[in-house]
Amino acid sequence: MRLFIAEKPSLGRAIAAGLGDVEKRNGYIECGQNVVTWCFGHLLEMNQPEAYDERYKVWKKEDLPILPNFFQTSVRKDAAAQMKIIGKLLRDAESVVNAGDPDREGQLLVDEVLEYHDYTGSCERIWLAALDDKSVKKALASMTGNNDYTGLRDAARARSQADWLVGMNCTRAMTLKGRDAGSQGVLSLGRVQTPTLALVVNRDLVIENFKPHPYFTLHVEILHEAGTFTGTFQPLDIQKGLDDQGRLISPDEAYRIKKEVSGQPGKILEAHKEKKKKNPPLPHCLSSLQKAASSKLGMGAKQVLDVAQALYEKKLTTYPRSDCRYLPEEQFDEAGSVLTALSNLPGLEQLAENTDSSIKSAAYNTKKVTAHHAIIPTGEIPSNLSADESALYRMIAQSFCIQFYAAMEFEAQKILTGINHTVWKSTGRKILNPGWTAFIKEQDDESASNQVLPQVHQDDDITAAQVDIKSQKTKPPARFTEGTLIEAMANVHKFIEDTEAKKTLKENEGIGTEATRAGIIETLKARQLIELQQKNIISTDLGRQLVKMAPGVLTDPVTTAQWESRLSAIAEGKESLSGFMTDQTIQVPELVKAIFALQLKPLPGTHLCPECGQPLRRQKSKKGSWYWGCFNQEGHAKPVFLNDKNGKPDLTPKKKIELSEHKCQACGKPLVKRESKKKGKGGKTNFWWGCSGFPECRQTYFDDNGKPRFKDKKGE
């Protein structure tokens, strides 16, 4: 019996359909001499620190760093039954096929199950980028040895172990250190999430500290015998009244230019025309799909990934976690059948029917295909889709269809005009063949004006009409949305000034991966480090505090990009898992040391101890009530405890205790007269007496006309 172990049930069902002769069982499917079973994502999870040692349940500075000699995993509680089914099937299997998703996590996900059951028999690997019948049968006919992918498995394992070391140790260290500055919650750090959070925080600070500056743009209507067109003022190097960006900020200069140019003659300095082509945008990868869906459909990054995954599992589109926008040239011959299927779908009929399947766009380039190709329709007919699934499917199908349209052809036009010692620039574009833009509105070419310029020649005479002055103000950058933050993570090199760092980040395609970026954003939201305000992502006070306190090596995107580069090297067999992890066990203690060495001032809004001035911590008692405590042993001999009042420490001065002349019968210390919470008849105030030796002595006495009622020798 040959056993296929798929990453998830939907993938297992697709493989079973491709094998045929299907007989469903509990947790698996029999297909003649083949059996297909499945995981539910990772069936194993990495253990928490307390699994290594019970003392790690309590977070203490002296226990850090935690560096296990070997990493332990446990079966997820909700996956125990399926793990037993797989174990039983493995005992009867003559060979196994790893049917994890086609990425490093998919490789590890199945391999670790085989390791858990000590399976050492024959094992193959099936690589499925799409779940339609044709793709499944093609993959079944071209399986390779699972040992060919040990590098991919080790890269995934290195990622999870490194994340554990950094996340567990740095989060504990930062949380413990943060308490010294008044932080009340867990301060979570991670190799990808922290630089991502820093992107948001830095953008928010730029926006909030931005001071708009006025500037002026000048436009003139230029009269030529062949026609009229508009020119925009182009300041020369000798122009006065410019800012460091070359914008005209002097109103006096603006009005002087207007006065000296309006109605004056001039000449054409340069006239250029150039025929150009604009190819259709490439099909989507996950990042481009997330950005487009965020902008046009208002969908969050995680939502896009989930919907794209659902379309993939319904066999309607190819693998969604792709970082590639190119297609294998070998698939070009299959395009016609896909286009025919799309031409029968409402809303896509006209676009698909007018395609030319003989056009081979730049998207078909096998050399540029990575582990996965672009996300495209499979040609299966969709049905019973949700509104989100339908909208996203249409977006994917549209980007595929336009690959089979001619390029847009246009004439790019440029004229420079000289008027009274000033230069004016005119740009225009004349559409020669709309090509794909006849069906898809072009949105990314804002550089060219919509005007069509007349036929002019150098040295032609012109006359300037009235100059129009437009007063404008500089604008801050836009806040991140989920779509633009995904794009920023993928292109984080654009936010770095260092030349070598830019190169490193660009080569490694930013921070995170196509498969993990949406999850990182969800993690930041769940930990209340960022929040959504309509479509915009805003950093919270906690998020800003964390970025401010975190060591630079953890907020710098170059650090995580270098890690991703090494993970890629492991996947390619150029570096070892052990070598990478050895370096992590050296680096993590340094990170912990750097965190504990931080000199932190009390955070804004922190409540300070009335005795020593150090930050108070809000904690919950065993009974569930909140209180505030200061445990600064250098500031006072005993811990200071204060009641919680509406989420803040009750700093109301306590009444001075007056000791009476009456002595406690139990220990001989003075008694204190106290007011009872319970009122007597008619609201009369009651009193009682307690020993001043509390809590060592807990003796109490009733009040008897202003005196403690002592017991006589007989106890009466």
Catalytically active residues are 319
Classified as helix, coil or strand, 706 is: coil
**How is residue 373 written in tokens?**
């190709």
- Give the C-alpha separation, 595 to 201, whole Å: 20
- Give the C-alpha separation, 504 to 523, whole Å: 26
Classified as helix, coil or strand, 654 is: coil
DSSP letters for 350-371: HHHHT--TT---TTB-GGG--S
- Give the C-alpha separation, 563 to 162, whole Å: 9
Q: Give the DSSP H/E element, type plus range, for residue 168.
A: helix 150-180
- Give the C-alpha separation, 355 to 454, whole Å: 34
**How is residue 262 written in tokens?**
């309006």
Classified as helix, coil or strand, 463 is: strand
- Give the C-alpha separation, 690 to 658, whole Å: 12
- How many residues in total does the chain contain? 716
Interhelix angle 557-571/499-507, nearest 10 degrees: 40
Query: How far are the Cα atoms of 19, 33, 47, 235 from residue 261, in angstroms, in the given order?
Result: 79, 88, 76, 14
Q: Would you say 307 and 320 are in contact if contact means Cβ atoms under 8 Å apart?
A: no
Pairs from 243-249 (Cβ < 8 Å, separation ≥ 24): 243/213, 243/215, 247/215, 247/216, 247/474, 248/215, 248/216, 248/217, 248/218, 249/213, 249/214, 249/215, 249/216
Classified as helix, coil or strand, 81 is: helix
Residues 6+ apart with CB under 8 A from 434: 408
DSSP letters for 213-269: -EEEEEEEEEEETTEEEEEEEE--TT-SSB-TTS-B--HHHHHHHHHHHTT-EEEEE
- Give the C-alpha separation, 287 to 26, whole Å: 37
